[in-house]
């Protein structure tokens, strides 16, 4: 069986090279369907494990006679290492890889204690090449753009998707067009899009308006759309889960907690867990907790309704990455929450910023939206939903330097924020340094 794209709702099938981003019959979301690998369980785990390479190892100067060089390049990516579950029939010559993935799974006692859980690991997707998990989907989407002979690629974004698309398009030498809400994208992300050479459009409107416009442009102007409604993006993002399971030696945690905006990642996580159980990679699925910011929480509102109604809101939150009022992958994400006995919750901006300050002060650091995972973990632990002794993996989706503006505001507003570390201006003399040093020693 060749890879096909299939509508989640009515089952209509499209060829792998079809660039439609929704079912032509019912407008449902499309998923990739491919032949499952012949191996199961231990054999498949062993195949993936055999490809683990030390990311910093010199690939070219020390060629191994047993691994052909093209395969070796793919092995060094934390996405393509799992290619049987991403895009099994890809020709390695088409793959546009940085490489990406191979992100760390970090334990910090201070963060676990703040959350009130015994075992907390942070999967830090900010360690990807452009500083967010988007690179995992983008390597696949831009590879597919190359396979279908796209003349240009485009996306709507709250900032990270655009930074990632800009970088991968540059690598593939494809022109990129990115549409972002004017005045609502953090400094680091906007700077990246410009730096990597994307044509950057500051749209007078919110993210939801940008996405409508990008979909229109893709349909009518023939550019290849790289948003997470693109099933190739989702296929790549599944590897966040596959990689963390591999790092845990295929012993699944009890919970995976992630921030939720447009719900592409929630959908990808669910697909990965579904396949991991079906293929015997793990025995039992973890529960997924999707965390939204209270000012941008349409999915949480629908969850509280038992998913009877699809809510939309006018989004407002400091976590600009997840400032989304009408999530595109809603129906897929509902299925994921149901299948994994998952939960959806929302946390206020103040809790997100405090969680971020705790993660930052542990030396790990993350962007505001990522800290929703940590604030959400604390909330679930305080409700008793996450029980003591349960193992939690919280996903940090983006790097601390993505949004320096919010960070500086938090630390400079020491009178209003809980964990501020305000800078001190001094005269250029040693006694001033000594005074500050004494003060900080007595404060400990
Ligand atoms: N965390 C970060 C740092 C993000 O950038 C995003 C989404 C999410 C979480 C939520 O993931 O949308 O799949 O539910 N950012 C998109 C963008 C919307 O354009 O960069 P989601």
- Examine the pLDDT at 8 and tell me if it is beyond 80: yes
Confidence grade of residue 62 (pLDDT, cut at 50, 70, 90): very low
Distance 225 CA to ligand 1 centre (A): 16
Ligand 1 atom at shortest distance from the alpha carbon of 268: 13
- Examine the pLDDT at 37 and tell me if it is beyond 90: yes
- Examine the pLDDT at 316 and tell me if it is beyond 90: yes
**76 in Cβ contact with 59 (< 8 Å):** yes
Q: How far apart are CA 71 and CA 69, in angstroms?
A: 5
Residues 227-232, mean pLDDT to the nearest whole number: 96
Confidence grade of residue 70 (pLDDT, cut at 50, 70, 90): low
Per-residue pLDDT at 66: 57
Confidence grade of residue 441 (pLDDT, cut at 50, 70, 90): confident
Q: How far apart are CA 239 and CA 281, in angstroms?
A: 13
Poorest-pLDDT segment among 51-60, 224-233, 255-264, 387-396: 51-60
Ligand 1 atom at shortest distance from the alpha carbon of 262: 12
Question: From the CB of 77, is ligand 1 less than 6 Å away?
Answer: no
- Examine the pLDDT at 242 and tell me if it is beyond 60: yes
Q: Which two tokens stand for residue 278?
A: 């079906």
- From 128, 135, 158, the mutation candidate for ligand 1 (largest count of ligand atoms within 8 A of CB) is 158
Burial call 5-43: b when 16+ CB within 10 Å, e when fewer? bbbbeeeeebebeebebbbeeeebbbbbebeebeeeeee
Ligand 1 atom at shortest distance from the alpha carbon of 333: 14
Question: From the CB of 368, is ligand 1 less than 6 Å away?
Answer: no
Confidence grade of residue 335 (pLDDT, cut at 50, 70, 90): very high
Output the average pLDDT for the chain.
94
Distance 158 CA to ligand 1 centre (A): 7
Q: How far apart are CA 333 and CA 271, in angstroms?
A: 10
- From 318, 320, 321, 331, the mutation candidate for ligand 1 (largest count of ligand atoms within 8 A of CB) is 321
Q: How far apart are CA 249 and CA 37, in angstroms?
A: 20
H or E stretch covering 391: strand 391-396
Residues 170-194, mean pLDDT to the nearest whole number: 97
Question: From the CB of 158, is ligand 1 less than 6 Å away?
Answer: yes
Question: From the CB of 367, is ligand 1 less than 6 Å away?
Answer: yes
């Amino acid at each position: 069986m060749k890879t096909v794209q299939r509508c989640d709702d009515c089952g209509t099938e499209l060829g792998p090279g079809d660039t439609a981003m929704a079912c032509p019959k019912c407008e449902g979301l499309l998923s990739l369907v491919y032949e499952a690998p012949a191996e199961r369980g231990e054999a498949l785990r062993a195949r993936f494990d055999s490809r683990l390479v030390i990311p910093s190892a010199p690939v070219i100067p020390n060629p191994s006679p047993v691994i052909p060089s093209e395969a070796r390049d793919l092995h060094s990516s934390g996405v393509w290492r799992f290619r049987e579950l991403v895009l099994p029939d890809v020709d390695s010559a088409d793959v546009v890889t940085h490489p990406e993935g191979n992100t760390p799974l970090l334990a910090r006692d201070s963060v676990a204690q703040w959350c009130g859980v015994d075992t907390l690991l942070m999967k830090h997707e900010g360690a990807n090449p452009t500083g967010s998990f988007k690179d995992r989907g983008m390597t696949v989407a831009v590879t597919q753009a190359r396979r279908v002979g796209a003349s240009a690629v485009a996306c709507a974004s709250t900032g990270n998707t655009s930074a990632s698309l800009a970088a991968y398009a540059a690598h593939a030498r494809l022109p990129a067009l990115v549409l972002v809400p004017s005045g609502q994208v953090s400094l680091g992300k906007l700077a990246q899009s410009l730096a990597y050479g994307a044509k950057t459009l500051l749209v007078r409107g919110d993210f939801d308006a940008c996405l409508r416009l990008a979909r229109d442009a893709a349909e009518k102007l023939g550019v290849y759309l790289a948003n997470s409604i693109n099933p190739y993006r989702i296929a790549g993002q599944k590897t966040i889960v596959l990689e963390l399971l591999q790092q845990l030696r295929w012993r699944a945690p009890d919970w995976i907690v992630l921030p939720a905006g447009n719900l592409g990642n929630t959908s990808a996580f669910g697909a990965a867990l579904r396949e991991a159980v079906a293929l015997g990679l793990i025995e039992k699925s973890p529960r997924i907790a999707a965390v939204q910011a209270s000012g941008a929480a349409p999915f949480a509102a629908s969850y509280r309704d038992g998913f009877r109604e699809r809510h939309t809101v006018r989004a407002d939150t400091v976590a600009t990455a997840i400032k989304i009022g009408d999530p595109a992958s809603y129906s897929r994400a509902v299925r994921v929450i149901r299948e994994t006995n998952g939960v959806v919750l929302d946390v206020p901006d103040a809790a997100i910023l405090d969680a971020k300050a705790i993660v930052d002060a542990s030396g790990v650091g993350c962007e505001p939206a990522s800290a929703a995972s940590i604030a959400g973990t604390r909330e679930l632990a305080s409700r008793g939903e996450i029980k003591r002794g349960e193992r939690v993996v919280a996903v940090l989706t983006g790097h601390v330097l993505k949004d320096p503006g919010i960070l500086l505001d938090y630390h400079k507003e020491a009178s209003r924020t809980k964990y501020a570390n305000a800078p001190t201006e001094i005269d250029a003399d040693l006694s001033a340094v000594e005074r500050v040093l004494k003060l900080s020693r007595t404060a400990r």
